[in-house]
Structure 1
Amino acid sequence: MPAEEVAGEFADKPGGPDGRDGKAAGSAGEVHDKRRWGRARVAIALVFCVHGSVTGSFATRIPWIQDHTGVSAGQLGLALAFPALGASVAMPLAGAISHRFGARTALRVLLALWTLALTLPSLAPDLVLLCAALFLYGASSGLSDVVMNAIGVEVENRLAKSIMSGLHGMWSAGALIGSAAGTLAAHVGSDARLHHALAAAVLTAAGLAACQTVPEVRGTRNEEPPPRFALPPKSAVLIGAVGFCAVFAEGASLDWSAVYLRDVLDTSAGLAAASTTAFALTMAVARLVGDRVVDRFGAVRAVRVGGALATAGGAMVVAAPHPAVAMGGFGFIGLGVAVVVPLAFAAAGRAGPNPSQAIAGVATITYTSGLIAPSAIGAVANATSLVVSFGLVTLLACGLMVGAGVLRTGDRRAAPVTTGEPAPAADPTT
């Protein structure tokens, strides 16, 4: 095996050349292999946590950024579309970057760019520069997102058990940590420029440390490199459509649940805000425990049951006579969609010959869903009502039950560890 194909401690180590003590060496090799991929799981989980912490740190200081730039609510809404635009434009480049430099090196650089990009929005003095800063912020987020999910899929394949839901749960946990720190900083009146500079320094150091033990895998010498800019492949479109439905329901619930309780059910501002926090917590907890469900029942069944829960939750929201019923409905939506996006990334990683390209395609589709969901809900509400808007969410939740079968993309690839033969080289970005 060429040295550049697999680097670091994740290089596959064959047994003795003469075959002596083959059984003992194989057994020891299997234990060692499980341990190193177990360490890789911890490392990539920390990467997901760091990535989520940046998002949480930014979100809590949006009011400060609005005041600092002097933009109106409408202008702020325009600016907040630019992270998703930047991510959607940049993500198709991720496969070529990872193929060129290797997964670990690409992740180390891109994750550092993402954590450092946290400082940009608070430095912007006006709307134009804020939009530019948020575009770069989103681009670095999208690139690192694709690479870390591709590595997560490879670790899942090597461990031969579901971990993607838990990884996304760690992202949610990171977002909660970042938002908690940001809330504290806002409470004491800290300047967001100072807050974000300190947060970026801490998160950059944490991210670089975590990247030291993620797998560094390159492709074979005769492997054709992916195009520099690749549109979503056909294998990603149907998988992405399932992810689209889930992200639309998630985005609509996160952004509009508080408004729904306040305007439709006439609740207090405090109770309305609590519904959003409860929804986010539900999502995080469901993702952290979701891997056990997926391993027990399989991806397709988990998504179908999740789709049924989300559909029931949407119906509860639409028909709710009391705030408690609506809050329960939003909770069911969160439970129902929690594992869908992690499973969509995992399915994309096993759907074709270019996993990184497929993952980038699914990520692009889901980011697009997250971009249009809040405005689509608002547009439907303006034309009709918020109740009708969440009727649309309920309809899309039904799509999870219908489309769950596309997540059946074959078994995970477990690395051979019981023989003295080297494992085959993995995809360049996984």
Structure 2
Amino acid sequence: MSEQTPLKARPRRELSAWRNAIFVVFALSGLSVSTWVARLPAIRDGLGLSTGEIGLLILGMSAGSIVGLIAAQLIMGRFGPRRGMVFSLVTVSVGLALIGSGAVLFEAPAVVLVGLIFFGFGNGAVDVMMNVEGAAAEKEIGKTVLPLMHASFSLGTVIGAGIGAAMAALGVSVLWHTLGMAALIAVVIVFTVRYVPVSDELGDGGGADAGAATSMNRPSLGERLRAGLAVWKDGRLIMIGIIMLGMAFAEGSANDWLTLAVVDGYDTTNATGALVFSVFVVAMTVGRVVGGPLIDRFGRVPVLRVSALSAVVGLALFILSPVLWVAVVGTVLWGLGSALGFPVGMSAAADDSRNAAARVSAVAMIGYFAFLVGPPVIGLLGEHIGLLNALFLVLGLVVMAGLASPAAREQQPRR
């Protein structure tokens, strides 16, 4: 690897603009996810699909996410984070438009499936890029900010879930809802990425000089692939991935199934299901807002252990409660407990900045395995034992994540 010229300290104004731009990217990703989730019951009812068939549709989204995770490092290496994030979120917008069109205009599950593949690919790719950029900004700031960035994702889901609940209550078509959100995401990302610094290392051709530098110093495709495979030999990284697997299952199962579990398990309306999902994402947002200061004070491991305990208790209440209000209390604990696993795992993976993109991509891939196998497994279990009982699988994986939490211990003190 060629020697890198030491980076000069960025002016505070430039660093703040960079941080805030990543906040917006996280929020846009969250907005897109909750747009899909909040309208899932309406899409299911409109297409007349079973729980198992919905699980297979979500499998397409999960498969797209895995491909996006794998491709993210290569996209960043070739085009840099600026253009990479624009490409990824525009792909998400195309996916949303196809989802709405397939559900309403064509009434074709196949079109919805194609839309979900685009949607998953874009969100999988941007997930790696925004976390790598967020970890880089975190190191320069010298404080834990990735949980707050993930809180921005949750804030986006809160806004999206609120809009979705309102659209469902008002009877607004899924088509117009998804088209509006798709246009908003595409426009905002184009204006946001100009505040992301050009990175010679990642090959962002932000100008003639940058392009010349990167053409000389950029690793070859083979070198990037070998570097990406080498990180899988790191046992600590695998354990961090296990933390993310359990917590991603806890978060992802809510994203995929909470609305339907409330509607079917507690015999409520679609609007109520969307409202309870809003409670979950509000709880996650609160957990991520307060998480950074808690981690800086107590350390990653104690916070992760308490988080896992909260998620386990919350899931148990949600599954076993005989009444809706107790399930809502469980939803709050579930959301609080799920809040920090993914961002803390990303931050821990990026402790070694020499190959941060490959390491973040690797643990994200392990975490996203939950999104790949989770939807069809929970869907198939739900067909036979009910969605609420199927969530016991999630509870067990969260216990496993709590046991693996020591792997996320800080490797070096903050400045």
TM-score range, shorter chain: 0.7 to 0.9
- Separation (CA, whole Å) in 1 of partners of 2:263 and 2:218: 60
Deviations 1:68-90 (A, max 9, x none): 7x453354432222111111122
Deviations 1:311-346 (A, max 9, x none): 333444566465444433332222122111011111
- Separation (CA, whole Å) in 2 of partners of 1:392 and 1:250: 13
**What is the deviation of 1:48?**
0.9
Q: Which runs of 5+ in 2 are unaligned?
A: 202-213
Change (3 A) 1:89 1:205: same
Is 1:95–2:47 an aligned residue pair? no
Instruction: Give 1:349's aligned residue.
Output: 350
Is 1:248–2:249 an aligned residue pair? yes
From 20, 43, 55, give the equivalent of 1:42: 20
Aligned residue-pair number: 388
Q: Is the 8 A contact 1:93 1:228 kept in 2?
A: no
**What is the deviation of 1:162?**
0.8
* Higher RCO (C-alpha under 8 Å, 6+ residues apart): 1
Deviations 1:368-396 (A, max 9, x none): 21333344345445666767544443332
Deviations 1:176-199 (A, max 9, x none): 223333444455554444443333
Give the secondary structure class of the aligned counterpart of 2:86.
helix
- Separation (CA, whole Å) in 1 of partners of 2:326 and 2:37: 28
- Separation (CA, whole Å) in 1 of partners of 2:293 and 2:113: 41
Is 1:226–2:203 an aligned residue pair? no
Instruction: Give 2:282's aligned residue.
Output: 281
1:390-405 mapped onto 2 (5 Å cutoff): 390-405=391-406
Instruction: Give 1:21's aligned residue.
Output: none
Instruction: Give 1:128's aligned residue.
Output: 110
- Separation (CA, whole Å) in 2 of partners of 1:122 and 1:326: 31
Change (3 A) 1:256 1:159: same
- Separation (CA, whole Å) in 1 of partners of 2:132 and 2:255: 26
Deviations 1:208-240 (A, max 9, x none): 111111122222827564129956724442211
Instruction: Give 1:27's aligned residue.
Output: none
Instruction: Give 1:333's aligned residue.
Output: 334
- Separation (CA, whole Å) in 2 of partners of 1:242 and 1:145: 17
- Separation (CA, whole Å) in 2 of partners of 1:314 and 1:251: 13
Instruction: Give 1:72's aligned residue.
Output: 49
Instruction: Give 1:104's aligned residue.
Output: 82
Q: Which runs of 5+ in 1 are unaligned?
A: 14-29, 415-430
Change (3 A) 1:388 1:121: closer
Structure that is richer in helix per residue: 2
- Separation (CA, whole Å) in 2 of partners of 1:261 and 1:54: 21
- Give the letter aligned to residue 173 of structure 1: L
- Give the letter aligned to residue 224 of structure 2: P
Instruction: Give 2:130's aligned residue.
Output: 148
Deviations 1:34-80 (A, max 9, x none): 33212211111011111222222333444565577x45335443222
- Separation (CA, whole Å) in 2 of partners of 1:58 and 1:339: 23
- Give the letter aligned to residue 296 of structure 1: R
Q: Is the 8 A contact 1:96 1:229 kept in 2?
A: no
Q: Is the 8 A contact 2:100 2:176 kept in 1?
A: no
Query: Identity across aligned pairs (percent)?
Result: 27
Q: RMSD in angstroms over aligned alpha carbons?
A: 3.3
Q: Is the 8 A contact 1:56 1:175 kept in 2?
A: yes
Deviations 1:272-325 (A, max 9, x none): 665433222211221122112112211112101212222333444566465444
Deviations 1:133-158 (A, max 9, x none): 22122112211121111101111111
Is the deviation greater in 292-301 or in 395-404?
A: 395-404
- Separation (CA, whole Å) in 2 of partners of 1:202 and 1:303: 35
Give the secondary structure class of the aligned counterpart of 2:411.
coil
Give me the TM-score of the superposition, normalised by structure 2: 0.80
1:81-92 mapped onto 2 (5 Å cutoff): 81-92=59-70
**What is the deviation of 1:400?**
2.8
Instruction: Give 2:303's aligned residue.
Output: 302
Give the secondary structure class of the aligned counterpart of 1:79.
helix
- Separation (CA, whole Å) in 2 of partners of 1:387 and 1:183: 22
**What is the deviation of 1:243?**
0.7
**What is the deviation of 1:111?**
2.6
From 189, 197, 200, give the equivalent of 1:215: 197
Q: Is the 8 A contact 1:156 1:163 kept in 2?
A: yes
Give me the TM-score of the superposition, normalised by structure 1: 0.78
1:388-427 mapped onto 2 (5 Å cutoff): 389-411=390-412
- Separation (CA, whole Å) in 1 of partners of 2:326 and 2:167: 34
- Separation (CA, whole Å) in 2 of partners of 1:329 and 1:58: 23
